[in-house]
Amino acid sequence: MIWVQLAMRIEISISNQTLTLFDNFGGVKAKYNVSTAANGAGCEKNSGCTPLGQHIIRAKIGAGAAENTVFVGRRPTGEICTPELMAEFPNRDLILTRILWLSGTEVGFNRLGNVDTMQRYIYIHGTPDSTELGKIGSHGCVRMRNAEMIELFDLVDVGTSVVISE
**pLDDT per position as a tens digit, 19-51:** 999 999 899 999 999 999 999 999 999 999 999
Q: pLDDT of 59-98, one tens digit each?
A: 999 999 999 999 999 999 999 999 999 999 888 889 999 9
Which candidate, 146, 155, 142, places its Cα nearest to that of 8?
155
pLDDT tens sequence across 88-116: 988 888 999 999 999 999 999 999 999 99
**Distance (Å, whole) CA 12 – CA 36:** 9
pLDDT band of residue 7 (cuts 50, 70, 90) is: confident
Residues of the chain with pLDDT > 90, as a percent, come to: 91
pTM for the whole thing?
0.95
- Write the CA distances from 162 to 10, 82, 104, 157, 158, integer angstroms: 5, 31, 9, 11, 11
Give the C-alpha separation, 87 to 3, whole Å.
54
Round the average pLDDT of the chain to a whole number and report it.
95
The confidence score (pLDDT) of residue 76 equals 97
Mention the CATH class of domain 36-160. mainly beta
Domain ranges, ordered by start, for the chain: 36-160
For residue 56, the model assigns a pLDDT of 98
| Single-letter residue type at 62 | G
